[in-house]
Amino acid sequence: NKESISSRGALIVLEGLDRCGKTSQSGRLYKYLDEQGHSVESWRFPDRNTGVGQMISSYLANKSQLDDHAIHLLFSANRWEKRSDSISENMQSLMEEKLKSGTTLIVDRYSYSGVAFSSSKGLDIEWCKAPEIGLLAPDLVVYLDISPEKAAERGGYGDERYEQLEFQKKVAGSYLSLRDSSWKVIDATLSIEDVEKKLREVVLDCMMTCHKGKPLSQLWP
Ligand code: 2DT
């Protein structure tokens, strides 16, 4: 019918500290929506597959050093290169085109990670936000809430830069200052199944709103 032709997908972003369960919850949510017959894709930032993404990956693995401002801009560029591109031949693979063609995107980390992590190093928060202006604004940001101490108890911090308790504490504080009324906060210390259930509820609700015609908007609202 007409409505389903014109309806768009939702841009859903999951944020939270390392070890909060973002990646496994994205996977579960993707599987659920896919099985329900929705057109859905699972994305993540940084996207390490692009040229810019490889520079980021090498930085995170401590294989290269970069000025804090420079790496911040690379993370942002990595989002810009996936936003939309009217001259690219594969424009169908980019964010705006996907959403407009009805695909819902579940995105593991986005601009909020960018601002939270860089401002935790002491960079000015407004400076950090500036390069994100004009990127697509998520329809929903879900913050999986866990204290840095609890997250650390889960163990399994890897060897990458930032995966240290003291730094994660700063990041938690930065996230707190970014939260606004459009964020849904889910207690990430609940069981995997309970988090999953709450996540499904807020996501299905958001998808319905987008389906009914909520326009796409841009950062920062
Ligand atoms: P993963 O472990 O989720 O791959 O993240 N980061 C991420 C930033 O500093 N800025 C950003 O814009 C993004 C998206 C968070 C790798 C690390 O990169 C950090 C953790």
ipTM here = 0.99
Residue indicated by tokens 């997908």: 9
Q: Is 128 left (phi over 0), alpha (psi -120 to 50) or beta?
A: alpha
Q: Indicate if the pLDDT at residue 4 is higher than 90.
A: no
Indicate the top mutation candidate among 43, 72, 113, 118 to test ligand 1's pocket, ranked by most ligand atoms within 8 A of CB. Answer: 113
Q: How far apart are CA 119 and CA 138, in angstroms?
A: 21
Helix/strand/coil for 107: strand
**Residue 1 confidence class, pLDDT cut points 50, 70, 90:** very low
Report the predicted TM-score, pTM, of the whole model to 2 decimal places: 0.95
Instruction: State the burial class of residue 3 (Cβ atoms within 10 Å of its Cβ: 0-12, 13-18, 19+).
Output: exposed
- pLDDT, residue 165, reads 95
Q: How far apart are CA 170 and CA 198, in angstroms?
A: 27
Average pLDDT of the chain is 94
Pocket lining: 117 vs ligand 1, CB cutoff 6 Å: yes
The residue count of the chain comes to 221
Q: What is the DSSP letter of 93?
A: G
**Residue 6 confidence class, pLDDT cut points 50, 70, 90:** low
Q: Indicate if the pLDDT at residue 158 is higher than 90.
A: no
Pocket lining: 109 vs ligand 1, CB cutoff 6 Å: yes
Nearest CA to ligand 1 atom 8: 114
Q: Which two tokens stand for residue 38?
A: 């929705």
Q: How far apart are CA 100 and CA 130, in angstroms?
A: 25
Helix/strand/coil for 159: coil
Indicate the top mutation candidate among 14, 62, 109, 160 to test ligand 1's pocket, ranked by most ligand atoms within 8 A of CB. Answer: 109
Nearest CA to ligand 1 atom 12: 114
pLDDT in tens, 60-104: 999 999 999 999 999 999 999 999 865 666 566 799 999 999 999
pLDDT in tens, 106-132: 999 999 999 999 999 999 999 999 999
Helix/strand/coil for 186: strand
Answer whether 12's CB lies under 8 Å from 138's CB. yes
Q: How far apart are CA 103 and CA 85, in angstroms?
A: 17
Q: How far apart are CA 36 and CA 94, in angstroms?
A: 23
What is the strand order of the sheet 140-145 is part of?
40-44, 104-108, 11-15, 140-145, 183-187
Q: Which two tokens stand for residue 55?
A: 């520079």
Q: How far apart are CA 36 and CA 95, in angstroms?
A: 22
- pLDDT, residue 3, reads 45
Spatial neighbors of 213 by CB under 8 A, at least 6 apart, are 6, 7
In the chain, % of residues over pLDDT 70: 94
- pLDDT, residue 181, reads 81
Pocket lining: 114 vs ligand 1, CB cutoff 6 Å: yes
- pLDDT, residue 92, reads 66
